[in-house]
Amino acid sequence: VMLRILVLNGPNLNLLGTRKPEIYGTTTLADIEQEMQRRAKELNCQLSFLQSNHEGALIDAIHNAKGQYQYIIINAGAYTHTSVAIRDAIEAVEIPTIEIHLSNIHAREEFRHVSMLAPVCVGQICGFGAMSYMLALQYAVEMGKQNDEA
Ligand code: DQA
């Protein structure tokens, strides 16, 4: 069976490319998704993408991922720092989830240093710009293959 990975993006990430390019770069979310899709084809896995500015929509997507996806990659944007509800959803579905950020949240304002999600995620990748997404994809695919062989 093909490995299926859900890629979730939270609030304001639809503005990538024009939003504070000195921090987030000039790559758009469509560019990132296209590059991930290209890599996923090579790696023989299936990706689904959802971006939402609404907390509840992200939570619904996490719930609906149960039984459908083996991994979740999430850039929850500012909800990372505030959302106990997204954290609880990740914990509830028990799908291994990788938290990612374009920027190094630990090098920025103090309020970005705390992640509500990190304790229920496999790990956190941040500070590598668009490459954060590709690194998370690599992890999911390699772990997914190992689990498939086991
Ligand atoms: C972000 C970091 C968050 O602090 C911020 O609110 C974002 C983007 C990142 O990818 O660097 O919206 O998640």
Q: Which residues line ligand 1 (CB under 6 A)?
A: 12, 75, 77-78, 80, 101-103, 105, 112
pTM of the model: 0.97
Structure confidence at residue 150 (pLDDT): 76
Q: Which of 55, 75, 106, 126 to probe ligand 1 with, by most ligand atoms within 8 A of CB?
A: 75
pLDDT tens digit string along 22-43? Answer: 999 899 999 999 999 999 999 9
63 Cβ partners below 8 Å, 6+ apart?
89, 92, 93
24 is an active site residue: yes
From CA 149, how far away is CA 79, in angstroms rounded?
Answer: 35
64 Cβ partners below 8 Å, 6+ apart?
none
Structure confidence at residue 99 (pLDDT): 98
79 is an active site residue: no
Protein residue closest via CA to atom 12 of ligand 1? 77
pLDDT of the chain, 150 residues: tens digit per residue: 799 999 999 999 999 999 899 999 899 999 999 999 999 999 999 999 999 999 999 999 999 999 999 999 999 999 999 999 999 999 999 999 999 999 999 999 999 999 999 999 999 999 999 999 999 999 999 999 888 887
Distance 45 CA to ligand 1 centre (A): 26
Can you give the three-state secondary structure of 49-74, one letter per residue? EEECCCHHHHHHHHHHCCCCCCEEEE
Distance 150 CA to ligand 1 centre (A): 36
Q: Point out the catalytic residue in the list 69, 101, 113, 133.
A: 101
Structure confidence at residue 137 (pLDDT): 98
pLDDT tens digit string along 1-19? Answer: 799 999 999 999 999 999 8
Protein residue closest via CA to atom 9 of ligand 1? 101
Structure confidence at residue 1 (pLDDT): 78
CA angle centred on 89, ends 91 and 133, rounded to 5°: 85
Structure confidence at residue 33 (pLDDT): 98
Protein residue closest via CA to atom 8 of ligand 1? 77
Number of H helices, E strands in the chain: 5, 5
